Amino acid sequence: MSFMPWSDVFVLGIDSIDTQHRWLVEATNRLHDQIESQELEYGVVREILEGLADYTMNHFILEEELFARLNYPESDTHIEEHNAFTHKTIDLLLCFERGEEAVDEDILEFLQAWLVHHILQVDKAYVSFLKANGVN
């Protein structure tokens, strides 16, 4: 059983976005497995954190480009959430690299809670708008 099993509740019905959300959930699971493992490897944790920060930014760009192109009315508040999360993940990575922060259960729970909240509420809110504008 993974830490954060992917489930149909996360599926928004827009393929490109669903694929990226799934990748983010799976990266959270990889991070969890690495932290739980007896042979925790610094390099692997760093790689997963880097991947998460990187991939998240690309994912946000995809969503934000759609918002801009289609004039999504909730764009500003949505982007604010993206920016706060981007800062948090970069901060996490930098603190980890400096040895100031261990990646622990609290961080995993933060990632999980953020993804669940953001996908199920904030992202879900754009689905009908995007679909009505021909995105699928």
Binding to Fe ion by residue 130, rule CB under 5 A?
no
Choosing from 32, 45, 123, 130, the residue that interacts with Fe ion (CB under 5 A) is 123
> Which of 43-51, 57-65, 66-74, 107-115 is the region at the interface with Fe ion (rule: CB under 5 A)?
57-65
Binding of Fe ion by 10 (CB under 5 A):
no
Alpha carbon distances (Å) from 16 to 4, 19, 110, 136: 20, 5, 25, 8
Measured between alpha carbons, how far is residue 71 from residues 67, 110, 117, 129 in Å?
5, 30, 23, 10
CB of 24 to Fe ion, least distance (A): 8
Nearby residues of 16 by Cβ (< 8 Å), 6 or more positions away: 62
Per-residue x/- track, 59-78, Fe ion (CB under 5 A) = ----x---------------
29 or 123, CB closer to Fe ion?
A: 123
| Contact residues for Fe ion, defined by CB under 5 A | 63, 123
